[in-house]
Amino acid sequence: MAASTLTGTGATPRSGLGTVVWYDPEITLPDADESVDVEAERDRFADAVDTARAELERERDATAERVGEDEAAIFDAHIQFLEDPTIEEAVVASIEEGRPAAHAVDDAFGVHIEQFEGMEGRMAERADDLRDVRDRLLRLLTGGDRVNLADLPEGSVVLAERLTPSDTAQLDPETVAGFATVTGGRTSHAAIFARSLALPAVVGLGEALNDVSEGTEVVVDGDAGELLVGPDEAEREAARAEEGADVVEESVETSDGREIEVAANVGRPAELEPAAARGADGVGLYRTEFLFLDRQSPPDEDEQYETVRDALDTFPDGRVVVRTLDIGGDKQIPYLDLPEEENPFLGERGIRRSLDPDAELFRTQLRALLRAAADGAGELNVMFPLVATVEELEAAIEAVDDAAADLADRGVDHERPSLGVMVETPSAVFMADEFARRVDFLSIGTNDLTQYVMAADRENERVGDLHDPTHPGVVRAIGRTVEQAHANDAWVGMCGEMAGNPDVTELLVGLGLDELSMSAVTVPDVKVAVSETEYSAARERADSARRVATRSELHETIQ
Ligand code: PEP
Ligand code: MG
């Protein structure tokens, strides 16, 4: 048995064995000591600059290879800031006045960061670059080894207070054995990202995680939602030997002949082939905002066109559902200058941003989508996130028509894809009939729908019990949405994390869903669960499930 076992929430049903590497993006400055050895501090600063330069050059080359030359250019800008003579002189002058090097760096960069922050547009973005360079130097000066998430030693298990989606995006599943975090829930975007990378992960382990030290051997058991600290030989062996379910390549139907499409959720081009290899019939949710993370400026129309075309060509006989940009909430993109909000999940998110501050980005994206629809092999469907009103939906449809007219005027080949709406808000559930009359399909996003129906933050493990889509309130909302979609000739899918849980496949099929879309890692299990379901019996059980009063009754009904 392991020396100790911590319990949290499994994010990816996979296990990984490895060695702990702590990731801590926070920097704490040491107390400003009164007596400073000026010469020693000057040398420490010069050494830090040299090391930072070498790191930046390495990262620039790695990024050029992994992502592209354009994205790598940012590191050159950082090197320029690092070598900026005005800043350097200010740091040295401050050290000579008796400030420790770390404080001198903090002060000197602070002045320039403030100046840039006061400027407009692109210049304001430079403040972020300066912050990056300052933090790099501070990490070097305060002795904290800088953990580069993109370049971790083979077999690392990353432990952190929390990881952002862009932190997770940097992890390489070929080398990283898994991650575990103090906070976070199953549907936080870091967890979703982990699942799409098939990266073993457990989130919401609580403060006890802080007692696990760097270098300890651990097993991340994403199935049980546990972190085994100091595993024994049998536990190590079990983690090494783990294999996924057998892939089912063909489309599946229930034992009494109802076909259910089982598709994959993806966020980046690199996830397409693995999704096809795991037997996905198509893509049920392409989270396009993930293409905007981890870079310094948005992808242009051609790059977006290529990306979508790639998806359509990967599934030539399938359907690819691309969701338009869903920025906001926990998906922050520094170069878009998102407002600071008290309640970002109730703020400017999804379609709300696309219709107003990001209208130009939305237009560009729609043009790319319409062009790809004409040229790609598979069938493109486009859906809008976080729609709450008919007015928003109509404005989004109008934007599609405008993009088509614009391309037609310029004689560019394009095609208008089928359109859909995500059902993620209580309002969308109540308005599902109106939405279904205006589009071809609805797709239920249970991650947000559960959060808003239950008033339980999807990121907060303290209300994790409430953020559970098997509460009767959520199940009734799903049942109602499906009914309204079908009554108005729209098909209806589910792309929230609930769709990837084989324990509820029978319930979802019985509720009438036509499509289930999930992280590729669970596609084989759900395909098996669909084939083992008898639709007529599932329907009856689902009808009962829609009438129960408590979660435990619901669990009894669907067992
Ligand atoms: C959802 O809310 O269920 C969904 C699929 O969207 P996201 O998880 O990206 O918010
Ligand atoms: Mg959502």
Query: Could you tell me where in the chain the CATH 3.20.20.60 domains are found?
Result: 252-558
Residue range 29-79, pLDDT digits in tens:
877 766 788 999 999 999 999 998 988 888 777 666 655 566 667 778 889
The DSSP line for 160-221 is ES---HHHHHH--TTTEEEEEESS--TTSHHHHHHHHTT--EEE---GGGGGSPTT-EEEEE
The CB-side HSE value for 33 (13 A sphere, CA atoms) comes to 10
Q: Residue 189 catalytic?
A: yes
One of 3.30.300.30, 3.40.50.720, 1.10.274.10, 3.40.50.2300 is the CATH number of 38-142, namely 1.10.274.10
Mutating to test ligand 1, I would choose from 327, 468, 495 the residue with most ligand atoms within 8 A of its C-beta, which is 495
> Tokens at residue 209, please?
């995680």
Residues 6 or more apart in contact with residue 141 via CB below 8 angstroms: 44, 45, 48, 101, 102, 105
In the predicted model, is pLDDT for residue 408 greater than 80?
yes
The catalytic position among 112, 189, 467, 471 is 189
- Identify the band that residue 165 occupies on the pLDDT scale cut at 50, 70 and 90: low
Q: Among residues 402, 383, 403, 380, which one has the least CA distance to residue 393? A: 383
**Alpha-carbon span 255 to 205, nearest angstrom:** 40
Most confident of 141-150, 231-240, 344-353: 344-353
124-128, 246-250, 325-329, 467-471: lowest mean pLDDT where?
Answer: 124-128
Question: How far, CA to CA in Å, does 338 sit from each of 168, 351, 388, 451?
Answer: 20, 14, 21, 22
In the predicted model, is pLDDT for residue 9 greater than 70?
yes
Q: What is the pLDDT of residue 67?
A: 53
- Identify the band that residue 27 occupies on the pLDDT scale cut at 50, 70 and 90: confident
**Alpha-carbon span 64 to 417, nearest angstrom:** 34
Q: Which residue shows structure tokens 């036509």?
A: 514
Query: Could you tell me where in the chain the CATH 1.10.274.10 domains are found?
Result: 38-142
SS3 readout for 411-469: CCCCCCCEEEEEECCHHHHHCHHHHHHHCCEEEECHHHHHHHHCCCCCCCHHHCCCCCC
**Alpha-carbon span 352 to 365, nearest angstrom:** 15
**Alpha-carbon span 465 to 99, nearest angstrom:** 50
- Identify the band that residue 383 occupies on the pLDDT scale cut at 50, 70 and 90: very high
Please say whether the structural domain 4-25+147-241 has been given the CATH code 1.10.3720.10: no
**Annotation-wise, does 448 bind a ligand?**
yes
66-70, 183-187, 280-284, 355-359: lowest mean pLDDT where?
Answer: 66-70
Q: Does residue 289 have its Cβ closer than 6 Å to ligand 1?
A: no
Q: Does residue 445 have its Cβ closer than 6 Å to ligand 1?
A: yes
In the predicted model, is pLDDT for residue 286 greater than 90?
yes
* CA 305 to chain centroid: 21
Residue 121 CA to ligand 1 centre (angstroms): 30
Residue 448 CA to ligand 1 centre (angstroms): 6
Residue range 332-379, pLDDT digits in tens:
787 888 888 889 999 999 999 999 999 999 999 999 999 999 999 999
In the predicted model, is pLDDT for residue 115 greater than 90?
no
- Report pTM: 0.74
180-184, 450-454, 546-550: lowest mean pLDDT where?
Answer: 180-184
60-69, 244-253, 486-495: lowest mean pLDDT where?
Answer: 60-69
Superfamily of domain 252-558, CATH level 4: Phosphoenolpyruvate-binding domains (3.20.20.60)
**Annotation-wise, does 126 bind a ligand?**
no
Question: How far, CA to CA in Å, does 556 sit from each of 68, 254, 464, 500?
Answer: 52, 22, 20, 20
In the predicted model, is pLDDT for residue 167 greater than 70?
yes
Residue 333 CA to ligand 2 centre (angstroms): 16
Q: Does residue 506 have its Cβ closer than 6 Å to ligand 1?
A: no
Q: Which atom of ligand 1 is nearest to the CA of 443?
A: 5
Q: Is residue 420 a contact partner of residue 381, using CB atoms and an 8 Å limit? A: yes
Bridge partners of residue 158, in order along the sequence = 21, 179
The average confidence (pLDDT) of the chain is 91
DSSP 8-state symbol, 409 = H
- Identify the band that residue 299 occupies on the pLDDT scale cut at 50, 70 and 90: very high
The DSSP line for 12-73 is ES-EEEEEEEEE-----PPP--SS--HHHHHHHHHHHHHHHHHHHHHHHHHHHHHT-HHHHH
Q: What is the pLDDT of residue 63?
A: 61
Q: Residue 495 catalytic?
A: yes
Q: Is residue 183 a contact partner of residue 459, using CB atoms and an 8 Å limit? A: yes
217-226, 289-298, 458-467: lowest mean pLDDT where?
Answer: 289-298
Residue 422 CA to ligand 1 centre (angstroms): 9
Kind of pairing, strands 15-23 and 156-160? parallel
Q: What is the pLDDT of residue 244?
A: 63
Q: Does residue 222 have its Cβ closer than 6 Å to ligand 1?
A: no
Q: What is the pLDDT of residue 166?
A: 63
The C-alpha R_g of the chain, in whole angstroms, comes to 25
Q: Which atom of ligand 1 is nearest to the CA of 447?
A: 3
**Alpha-carbon span 14 to 200, nearest angstrom:** 5
Question: How far, CA to CA in Å, does 61 sit from each of 70, 293, 327, 379?
Answer: 12, 19, 29, 37
Q: What is the pLDDT of residue 145?
A: 58
Q: Which residue shows structure tokens 């079908």?
A: 486
In the predicted model, is pLDDT for residue 451 greater than 60?
yes
Q: Is residue 135 a contact partner of residue 27, using CB atoms and an 8 Å limit? A: yes
In the predicted model, is pLDDT for residue 110 greater than 80?
yes
Q: Which atom of ligand 1 is nearest to the CA of 265?
A: 5
Q: What is the pLDDT of residue 162?
A: 85
Q: Which residue shows structure tokens 């080949």?
A: 413
Q: Does residue 287 have its Cβ closer than 6 Å to ligand 1?
A: yes
More confident site: 450 or 460: 450
**Alpha-carbon span 315 to 306, nearest angstrom:** 14
Q: Does residue 205 have its Cβ closer than 6 Å to ligand 1?
A: no
SS3 222: coil
Q: Is residue 518 a contact partner of residue 499, using CB atoms and an 8 Å limit? A: yes
In the predicted model, is pLDDT for residue 548 greater than 90?
yes
Residue 444 CA to ligand 1 centre (angstroms): 9
**Alpha-carbon span 327 to 287, nearest angstrom:** 10
Q: What is the pLDDT of residue 158?
A: 95
